[in-house]
Amino acid sequence: MKKEYWIILIVYIAMQFSGIIGMPLLVRGLKIDRVMALPIWLIISFTLALIIILFILRKDSHARGPKGTGQGSSIGHSIIWAVSGFFLALFSQYAAAIIEQLLGIHMGSENTQQILNIIDIFPLAMIVTSIIGPILEEIVFRKIIFGSLYRRFNFIISALISSVIFALAHMEPEHIILYSAMGLTFAFLYVKTNRIIVPIFAHVMMNTLVVLVQTVYRDDIERLQRDLESIQNFIGGFL
């Protein structure tokens, strides 16, 4: 792995733990309410990390594809796969959710719920969850981690390892199937088009849709989840 990539990984990890310093700075130093300080620091840390990472990658812009070389797909072909990839990601997420249901895994996501709570407090935080976050994740987990593995192993091994790491990074091991399915989809889009912008677009669109739907129809979704869990428990009583 190139030195620049290691630096990017360090920046990304530092961003994840930056709240340890950033939160007290906002709360005690700038006297910002703790509830508001969280989304504000989220925006600051993610934005700074993205700027730093893009600056580091400025010399790497000529390298296309997970193997670092090769011509990327045409603009038209990339657009088609970006849009198709959005629906493919939704389908893989839906299929993974069904599998988790069959395994008796609770449908709800604490990570998603926390994100929605942050957006309720500070709607501007949606920029992070819908745009900046997905861009950073695709650069880190697909371009760097998957790309580095793909230069040594085949697609299946590289995609599986990077997708599991991607899943575990979301701190919800019970939903490892769900996140891994998404990771596999984005890795496929990256290899298929040789352009990291394609999985970035699909990821951004998917996160934006999920956040909007969860925000607008949250009560209905929670009611549906309770009904589905009741049906699952009822059926389980006969098995």
Cα 233 from chain centre: 31
The single residue of 62, 77, 106, 137 carrying the catalytic annotation is 137
DSSP letters of 146-211?
A: IHHHHTTS-HHHHHHHHHHHHHHTTT-GGGHHHHHHHHHHHHHHHHHHS-THHHHHHHHHHHHHHH
Torsion angle of C-alpha atoms 177, 156, 9, 43, degrees rounded to 10: -40
Is 203 labeled as catalytic in the residue annotation?
Answer: no
The single residue of 170, 172, 222, 229 carrying the catalytic annotation is 170
**Does residue 64 contact residue 15 with C-beta atoms inside 8 Å?**
no
Is 137 labeled as catalytic in the residue annotation?
Answer: yes
Which residues are part of the catalytic machinery? Answer: 137, 170
